[in-house]
Amino acid sequence: MNEPMDFLIWTRGTAFDIAVTIFVIGVILRLFEILALGRKQNLAEPKGSEFGPGMKTILTRSIPDLGTFRRQPLTVVAGYMFHIGLLVSLIMFVPHIELFRATFGFSWPGLPTPIVDAAAVLAIVGLLAALWHRIMNPVMRKITTWEDWLVWTLTFLPILTGYLAYHRMVNPYPVILGLHILSVEALMIAFPFTKLMHTFTVFLSRWYNGAMSGRRGVES
Amino acid sequence: MSEATLERGINALKEQIDAPVAAFFSSCVSCGMCAEACLFYTETGDPKYTPIYKLEPLRRVWESEYTLVGKIKKVLGLNKPVTDELLQEWQELLYDSCTLCARCSMICPVGNDIVYMVRKAREGMVASGNSPEGVQGAATRAVTIGSPMGVKLSALEAQIRHIEADSGLKIPMDVEGADYLALLSSMEIMNFPEYLEGLAKIFKQAGVSWTLCSTAFEATNSGIQIGSSDIARTLVQRIVDGAERLKVKNVISPECGHAYTAIRWEGPNLIGRRLPFRVIHILELLDELRAAGRIKTKDLETDCYTFHDPCSIARKGGIIEEPRRLMNMVTTNFVDMKEHGKMAWCCGGGGGVSSNEDADSLRIKAFKRKRDQIAETGADVLVTACANCRLVIEEGLEEYRIELPVVGLSELIADHLVVDEEPPETPE
Ligand code: SF4
Ligand code: SF4
């Protein structure tokens, strides 16, 4: 056994188990932390319902208001680029699906690799644009904390290493593949304790927003 | 009220945090889009006015009290504490530069209801003694005298005598068992008595049984603007008591936007029970009367009229189509501003900003947004439905030397009302 191979095996074995455990327990804990705070009963006579408008806002908030989009198009475009690119490379890449099938026992058809490859490039460009914007835009500079830089890095590394590994741009291959897996594990471990949680809590936030507005008869 | 201290402030903030607040802070990705929705940022370009940034004190309390990481940080002394200095610095951000207009809540891509949190953060500011003096004064007057502007019952009675003498209309006071109890805002009593006269005229024609109440005529609620549930509760209770005393089935919120929020949405939660009457905004009532054919208008204007949506009525109250239907009753040439209804821009004076002298120059700057929006329509007359918006807009227009009449929608309906010689009997 050579060292690169040992490293790869470790990232796929022990390290992976640890990361998944922290990820799952952490996410459940964080969601519990939020939901356990509850909400006071609202005694005001409702003008509309809560559930439907809440669900609707979960969908409609993905489309930006036109006036605001015109004021800050780069935020929206870069956001779309890397979210779509990331999602496609994550769940439509055949080796990822294979891993999923091996773990959970079911799978779905993937996309041809050139498309996934393009998606990865889209995500990389989107993330770089978002980074540049975060450095240049005064509003973002004002509200950015170290956590935002951390989260950006943790998101960027898996895509970058994945891209390098797929194109065999780094040798030996097991090292770069191992680094790819390791970077995903870092992402998973940090996930529950950082803004990465928005992946899940966005559904709560949008629902609450839509529901509270819906109750007052307003579409939000 | 008990003495204000930092500790009380932090405790008040702690109490305000619920699942939505925790979800919102957990979701914020620091994208900065909310700034683009807020007139205090767009008109000044100063990033400190970014809506989510205004919530830093509340965010810190949430992080260190309600998250695992925050608790660990606190134990290790790594957390950023909430201090008196911080709260002092944030007074400008939470009061002077926020009208509680809720536009940011409509924009945030992750769905954060930012205004919901600003309202909550103000509770901590009051409890820690960091609310602005102007708003404090208004709140104190509201509790002790009965009106934020210090308008006493005798002043209202004097106005009523004037109106009755001028118009020959009757303004009923303390009529037990009337269908509707009409509330007013001090500004309407003192600056725009046309509103009360308009009501009397419309209700007489439509045969609406209504009354004013001598112990509950003021609808505005400075407790909500300043962020003191204690004061807010006292003021809501006054209305509930008055309405119960007169056994009315409906209470009419005046045009004033935040009065509607106060009684309609916050009222029941403040007093801890459902209201024993229905709250209806005057525009909703006028629209009902229109639909029922009980009011008709004549001599429609041909000049170009536009409408400013008061935030509390439209975006926060869902009353968006009613004023448009009513506008079409008074003019044949109604144009909407580009961004209106739920995306309307605030006049810059809501949420207590207009009674806060510290905010005067900032408010005038922020008004540029509305000024430009109005100019874009090319309208000859601006109509609105909130005495506060109306005063703020009049002042803003004057500041920028723009001549444009500003009118209240209810009185405009009254002006164009078809009046029968013999008004019909009350159909209800
Ligand atoms: S728009 Fe929403 S997610 Fe973006 S910075 Fe503001 S609050 Fe945070
Ligand atoms: S509620 Fe209005 S004024 Fe306040 S932060 Fe949001 S957009 Fe700005």
Assigned token pair, B417? 């009302």
Whether residues B217 and B329 fall in one domain: no
Single-letter code of the amino acid located at A211: A
Q: How far is the CA of B338 from the centre of ligand 2 (A)?
A: 19
* Contacts with B73 from chain A: Cβ below 8 Å: none
Single-letter code of the amino acid located at A30: R
Q: Is residue B300 part of a domain?
A: no
Last residue of a domain, one of B110, B131, B152: B131
Closest partner residue to B22 (CB to CB) among A37, A71, A140 is A37
Res. B369 pLDDT band, cuts 50 70 90: very high
For residue B280, the surrounding DSSP H or E stretch is strand B278-281
Tell me the C-alpha distance between B371 and B379, whole Å: 12
Q: Is residue B298 part of a domain?
A: no
Q: Is residue A111 part of a domain?
A: yes
Mean pLDDT taken over chain B: 94
pLDDT of residue B315: 96
Whether residues B84 and B152 fall in one domain: no
Taking the CA of residue B19 and the nearest CA in chain A, the distance in Å comes to 5
Do A220 and B273 count as a contact with CB atoms less than 8 A apart?
no
* DSSP state, residue B67: -
**Overall domain count for chain B:** 3
Least confident span in A3-7, B92-96, B390-394, B407-411: A3-7
Tell me the C-alpha distance between B304 and A130, whole Å: 44
Last residue of a domain, one of B131, B159, B177: B131
Whether residues B151 and B244 fall in one domain: yes
Whether residues B269 and B348 fall in one domain: no
pLDDT tens per residue across span B190-247: 889 999 999 999 999 999 999 999 999 999 998 999 999 999 999 999 999 999 999 9
3-class DSSP state for residue B408?
A: strand
Whether residues B56 and B20 fall in one domain: yes
Whether residues B341 and B387 fall in one domain: yes
Among B231, B243, B217, residue whose Cα is nearest residue B270: B231
Do A79 and B109 count as a contact with CB atoms less than 8 A apart?
yes
pTM of this prediction? 0.95
Do A71 and B42 count as a contact with CB atoms less than 8 A apart?
yes
CB distance B355 to ligand 2 below 6 Å = no
Closest-approaching ligand to the CA atom of B351: 2
Query: Does B23 contact chain A (CB < 8 Å)?
Result: yes
Tell me the C-alpha distance between B73 and A189, whole Å: 18
With a pLDDT cut of 90, the percent of chain B lying above it is 89
pLDDT tens per residue across span B315-324: 999 999 999 9
For residue B82, pLDDT beyond 60:
yes
Do B18 and A38 count as a contact with CB atoms less than 8 A apart?
yes
Closest partner residue to B317 (CB to CB) among A138, A198, A216 is A216
Closest partner residue to A67 (CB to CB) among B279, B315, B339 is B339
Contacts of B193 (CB under 8 A, 6+ apart): B159, B162, B163
Last residue of a domain, one of B256, B291, B326: B291
Whether residues B249 and B310 fall in one domain: no
Q: How far is the CA of B120 from the centre of ligand 2 (A)?
A: 14
Instruction: State phi, psi for B162 to the nearest 5 degrees.
Output: -55, -50
Query: Does A141 contact chain B (CB < 8 Å)?
Result: yes
Do A140 and B32 count as a contact with CB atoms less than 8 A apart?
yes
Mean pLDDT confidence for A74-83? 97
Least confident span in A54-68, B124-138, B192-206, B300-314: B124-138
Q: Is residue B421 part of a domain?
A: no
Whether residues B65 and B120 fall in one domain: yes
Among B110, B97, B19, B7, residue whose Cα is nearest residue B55: B97
* DSSP state, residue B301: B
Contacts of B124 (CB under 8 A, 6+ apart): B9, B10, B12, B13, B16, B57, B58, B61, B87, B227
Whether residues B47 and B95 fall in one domain: yes
Whether residues B284 and B142 fall in one domain: yes
Q: Which residue of B has its CA nearest to A142?
A: B47
Query: Does B338 contact chain A (CB < 8 Å)?
Result: yes
Q: Is residue A75 part of a domain?
A: yes
Residue range(s) defining the domain that contains residue A78: 44-171+194-215
Whether residues B204 and B145 fall in one domain: yes
Q: Is residue A145 part of a domain?
A: yes
Q: For position B182, which CATH number holds?
A: 1.20.1050
Q: Is residue A116 part of a domain?
A: yes
Describe the crossing of helices B56-66 and B6-16 by its angle, rounded to 10 degrees: 70
pLDDT tens per residue across span A117-134: 999 999 999 999 999 999
User: Chain B window 38-97: which residues touch A at a Cβ cutoff of 8 Å?
Assistant: 41-42, 45, 47-48, 50, 52-53, 66-69
Among B235, B237, B157, residue whose Cα is nearest residue B196: B157
Do B26 and A34 count as a contact with CB atoms less than 8 A apart?
yes
SS (H, E, C) A1-25: CCHHHHHHHHHHCHHHHHHHHHHHH
pLDDT of residue A142: 97
Q: Is residue A2 part of a domain?
A: no
CB distance B64 to ligand 2 below 6 Å = no
Let me know: does B104 contact B345? Beta carbons within 8 Å.
no
**Overall domain count for chain A:** 1
Residue range(s) defining the domain that contains residue B23: 3-131
Res. A87 pLDDT band, cuts 50 70 90: very high
Whether residues B273 and B313 fall in one domain: no
Among B188, B48, B173, B27, residue whose Cα is nearest residue B110: B27
pLDDT of residue B214: 96
pLDDT of residue B2: 65
Q: Is residue A69 part of a domain?
A: yes
The string of DSSP codes covering B159-211 is HHHHHHHHH-----BS-TT-SEEE-B-HHHHHT-THHHHHHHHHHHHHT--EE
